[in-house]
Structure 1
Amino acid sequence: MSEDEFRAAMARLAAGVVLVTAYDPDDGPEGADVGMTATAFMSVSLEPPLTMVSVRDGSRMDELLERQPFWAASLLTEHQRQTAGRFAMKGRLSDRLLFRDLPHVRGEASGAPLVEGALATVECRTEQRVRAGDHTLVIGQVLAAGLPHAPDSGPLTYYRGRYHSLAKGGS
């Protein structure tokens, strides 16, 4: 099987879109917020409450989460496609530019940015990191969860290489 065949098969699995964020206190005198768009995010356990995100090895987020245990995920709405696209770009744009006009608040439990208007937010502390191919699975204990006000918004999903909205009233 080729990489392209595998990628094409997996593109047919619809996934929710989250913005994973963390605060890097060692980046300059004021520190810096770091973020990445992810579709490989899931709940793992209710007791204790655990989530997991898959992070590309060598990425800024991977390097940060290796030394910083606190992070957060904001579950994006169908109206937050631009935010998802901005943080999905390859390369290392200035994190200060990425967050400059993004409405967010600082999580009390994690210190990470939480996107205003998200469907839900979770703040985590890394419990375990597992290498898996060219990614690391970061399992986090949930320290706090929130349901920000997102009126009449459905989830943002990713399917066949594009962002989508779920039809209202679907079963």
Structure 2
Amino acid sequence: MSRLAAGVVLVTAYDPDPGLDGEDVGMTATAFLSVSLDPPLAMVSVRNGSRMDELLTEREEWAASVLSESQRHIAGRFAMKGRISDRLLFDDIPYTRGAVTGCALVGGALATVECRTEQRVVAGDHTLVIGRVLSAAQPSSDGSPLVYFRGRYRTLG
């Protein structure tokens, strides 16, 4: 499967529990796709038992930001194993809050979607989270997509 090129997104959700202020949670994903246009559905695959998996069992709202090639550092940061707290990972990343879900949307992303989970399908060591797209935007029309191929982030061309 390493020979299948995939786009790279940052999936985000908001966890209201940590501390009084809550916390944004993020996860780099390469298994993200459009499922249906009518109704508009998108899907992300999350590793079972991960923080994002646990959060999305409690929270229905989540978002995805399609990363550009200039945002490789964001993808790498949120893909690290044994990483620091998510609060620190978001510190120097420009983002806005989605108007519908309140989830973090990466500034300069090629596209963003806000979703509400409609279905969860356990598939081996991952869960496919299918969400209804509540809003979609193109914050930046400049740049090329960040792509994951043969175990590395790459650019088109």
Q: Report the TM-score, using the length of structure 2 for normalisation.
A: 0.98
Displacement over 3 Å in runs of 4+: none
- Cα shift readout 1:118-149 (whole Å, capped 9, x = no counterpart): 00000000000010000000000000000002
1:155 equivalent in alignment to 2:145: yes
Q: Which residue of 2 aligns with 1:18?
A: 9
User: Which runs of no fewer than 5 residues in structure 1 stay unpaired?
Assistant: 1-9
Q: Which amino acid aligns with 1:155?
A: P
Separation in 1 of the partners of 2:151 and 2:21? 36
Q: Give matches, 1:117-128, under 5 Å.
A: 117-128=108-119
Q: Which residue of 2 aligns with 1:86?
A: 77
User: Which runs of no fewer than 5 residues in structure 2 stay unpaired?
Assistant: none
Q: Give matches, 1:1-171, under 5 Å.
A: 10-151=1-142, 153-167=143-157
Separation in 2 of the partners of 1:46 and 1:31? 33
Secondary structure class of the residue paired with 2:70: coil
Aligned CA-pair RMSD: 0.8
How many residues in Structure 1 have an aligned counterpart in Structure 2? Answer: 157
Q: Which amino acid aligns with 1:127?
A: E
Q: Which amino acid aligns with 1:59?
A: S
Q: Which amino acid aligns with 1:27?
A: P
Separation in 1 of the partners of 2:116 and 2:124? 23
Q: Which amino acid aligns with 2:44?
A: V
Secondary structure class of the residue paired with 1:85: helix
- Cα shift readout 1:134-167 (whole Å, capped 9, x = no counterpart): 000000000000000242x000000001011111
Q: Which has the larger radius of gyration?
A: 1
Q: Report the TM-score, using the length of structure 1 for normalisation.
A: 0.90
Q: Which amino acid aligns with 1:104?
A: Y
- State the identity %: 71
